[in-house]
Amino acid sequence: MNVLEEVEAIRQLKYRYLRAVDCKLWDLLASTFAVDAVSAYDSGKNAYVGRDAIVAWLRNAMENQVVTMHQVHHPEIELTSPTTARGTWYLEDRVINDGPKLPEMPAHSILFGTAYYSDEYVKRDGQWQISKTGYERIYVEIRPFEKPAVFQSRWAGR
């Protein structure tokens, strides 16, 4: 086992996961989770068990007209065995809801926040997957979203 190669593979797994979230690629998203993965997003508030439940919740929260940015930084990844690892990441996220009220967002609002992810990963059939994920907020704020003169997104059709 080359530790650096495994760490690089885990980093790319996390990047693929967030590319799937922000580009709304739900099949790609599902492929990044272990079938028995568990989540604890938002300081444990959004806890789900199993890949299908996690992906369904993410899809429901992100679909529609919502524009999201989820970028993670500062990976501190450590192998705990040849096929298991854990890692922390520093999240910056932004969610623009320029539509009606959603489960997590008021109508026409924008969320900014930061958080620390604590993840666990497992390697099965030669592929790393997310087995546990969740984050603790540093801070989060939600403000009214005042649409500017120029606002273009891949989804909002403007």
- Given the rule CB under 8 A, which residues bind its own copies? 3-5, 7-8, 12, 14-16, 18-19, 22-23, 67, 69, 71-76, 88, 90, 92, 96, 114, 116, 136-143, 148-154, 156
Tokens of 47: 């806890």
Structural element, H or E, at residue 135: strand 127-144
Nearer to its own copies, 2 or 81 (CB): 2
The beta strand positions in 8-126, using DSSP E, are 33-41, 46-49, 67-81, 84-97, 109-124
Least distance to its own copies, CB of residue 74, Å: 4
Nearer to its own copies, 53 or 155 (CB): 155
Spatial distance between the Cα atoms of 138 and 42, rounded to a whole number of angstroms: 10
Least distance to its own copies, CB of residue 126, Å: 16
Nearer to its own copies, 1 or 149 (CB): 149
Spatial distance between the Cα atoms of 123 and 130, rounded to a whole number of angstroms: 9
Least distance to its own copies, CB of residue 96, Å: 7
62 three-state secondary structure: helix
Least distance to its own copies, CB of residue 121, Å: 16
